[in-house]
Amino acid sequence: MNLETNLPTKFIQNILESVTFQIYNQIHNLDDLNISIRFCHPNYGCDYTSAIAYQLSSKLAKTPTEIAQTLYQSISTTEQLVITITDRGMINFKLTETYIQTCLDHIAIADLALNYLPQPQNFPLFTHTQYAYARCCSLLRQSIESKILTPELALPLIDIAENLNQLSEPQVIKCCQNLTLKFLELSDRSSNSQVLSASILKITQKLIYILASGYIDLPEYL
């Protein structure tokens, strides 16, 4: 399975690339167009945003707003995304809960790894990371069957999985710190009736292990 094609950035890029070439196929220098997609949750009321209209503006001698309107009107309705445009020409994408869960399912079974071999070094907030990993293990052992999807954690998990093999060592450490703090914030405020879903717990556990196990020991018990 090619994980990249099943996750949002590539999925959105493919949609935009398809409609762009269908509409503007008379432009011969689109082949080198690298469609920019940026993860932006929770900002701007969406999860991903694209400045493709700005990228095309000089090539087409049209305003970004005109181009965004044209692309938006040409994108077929999809069950995976809610698409909007801004008055300045940005194209925004919000993932549906069904698509978020589908992405998590793909990540859960994917073979993920860093693109380098970690070397022992200082790992800031390592006790927080150890606690977060052990807490994941503890909650999973409780076998709580929750189907509550928590976008504020699920979406960063998807973003990490998408970019994992491109992260440098400092980025990996920073990413792990951010994930640790976000998980602890959410898990500490979850009540018994509103807990993180098993799939989110499993992927959090999996990604913390990938990000941190080359640097620190990760206990399974608190």
β-bridge mates for residue 38, sequence order: 49
Amino acid at 112: L
- The pLDDT mean for the chain works out to 90
Q: What is the pLDDT of residue 153?
A: 93
Q: Higher-confidence residue: 190 or 23?
A: 23
Q: Has residue 93 got a pLDDT over 70? A: yes
Measured between alpha carbons, how far is 57 from 20 in angstroms, rounded to an integer?
Answer: 12
Q: How confident is the model at residue 208 (pLDDT cuts 50, 70, 90)?
A: very high
Indicate the pairing of strand 37-39 with strand 81-85. unpaired
Q: How confident is the model at residue 187 (pLDDT cuts 50, 70, 90)?
A: confident
**Each residue of 134-151: pLDDT tens digit?**
999 998 888 666 667 789
Under a CB-based contact definition with an 8 Å cutoff, are residues 180 and 128 in contact?
yes
- The pTM of this model reads 0.91
Q: What is the pLDDT of residue 48?
A: 98
Q: What is the pLDDT of residue 193?
A: 37
Q: How confident is the model at residue 192 (pLDDT cuts 50, 70, 90)?
A: very low
Measured between alpha carbons, how far is 155 from 87 in angstroms, rounded to an integer?
Answer: 25
For 156-208, the DSSP string reads HHHHHHHHGGG--HHHHHHHHHHHHHHHHHHHHH--TTS---HHHHHHHHHHH
Express as a percent the part of the chain with pLDDT over 90. 68
**Each residue of 45-79: pLDDT tens digit?**
999 999 999 999 988 889 999 999 999 999 988 99
Q: Has residue 202 got a pLDDT over 60? A: yes
Q: What is the pLDDT of residue 104?
A: 95
**Each residue of 35-46: pLDDT tens digit?**
889 999 999 999
